[in-house]
Amino acid sequence: MPADAGSHARSSAARQLVPAVNANPARAAAASEYIRYLTTEEALDFAEAQVRSLVTKAPGRMPTFTRNGRWVFDQDPWAPTWTGGFLTGMLWTFAHRTGDRWWRDAAEAYCLGLENRKYDPGTNDLGSVLEPSWGRWYDTESADRAKGVLIEGGQ
């Protein structure tokens, strides 16, 4: 069995054990043999793959959170769509990390989808929407449009 296949098998087994360990702490010691710690690069590569899959399979949609390893697109009744900036911020992070134009195009498209939020007086989380999205765009090229969105949203 190739080393990667063994790592994947252990990683898969660890994911299956997490609920059992949480429910029964006595199993924690047994589960430790399945834990594989990722390097920063491995974690970022994994995150890129997950986000690329999301953007490709559900273009324009913004997840609110994950449940059992799956994206959840339900609205958060306590703070509607306040998490959109986080996904967009990840897109900008991957664009800067890789230099791949695909990530930048996706980041810009998701920013545009959030632009009207600059007028949203119904949330105190507007900074969580605009800073990781339009703020990163502004950091990238100091575009007047990005600056305008950030100023309008901050008023």
pLDDT in tens, 74-132: 766 665 567 788 999 999 999 999 999 999 999 999 999 999 989 887 777 888 889 99
pTM (2 d.p.): 0.73
Between 17-21, 40-44, 109-113, 142-146, the lowest mean confidence (pLDDT) is in 17-21
Task: Tell me the residue ranges of DSSP E strands in 13-120.
Answer: 65-67, 70-72
- Better-predicted residue by pLDDT, 4 or 51: 51
pLDDT, average across residues 60-70? 85
d(CA 143, CA 139): 9
Between 44-48, 60-64, 72-76, the lowest mean confidence (pLDDT) is in 72-76
d(CA 62, CA 23): 31
Q: Which two tokens stand for residue 70?
A: 């799956």
Helix (H) or strand (E) holding 70: strand 70-72
pLDDT, average across residues 11-27? 51
pLDDT of residue 6: 41
pLDDT of residue 15: 46
Q: Nearest-CA neighbor of 129 among 93, 95, 79, 68?
A: 79
**Inter-residue contact 14 to 35 (CB < 8 Å):** yes
pLDDT of residue 122: 76
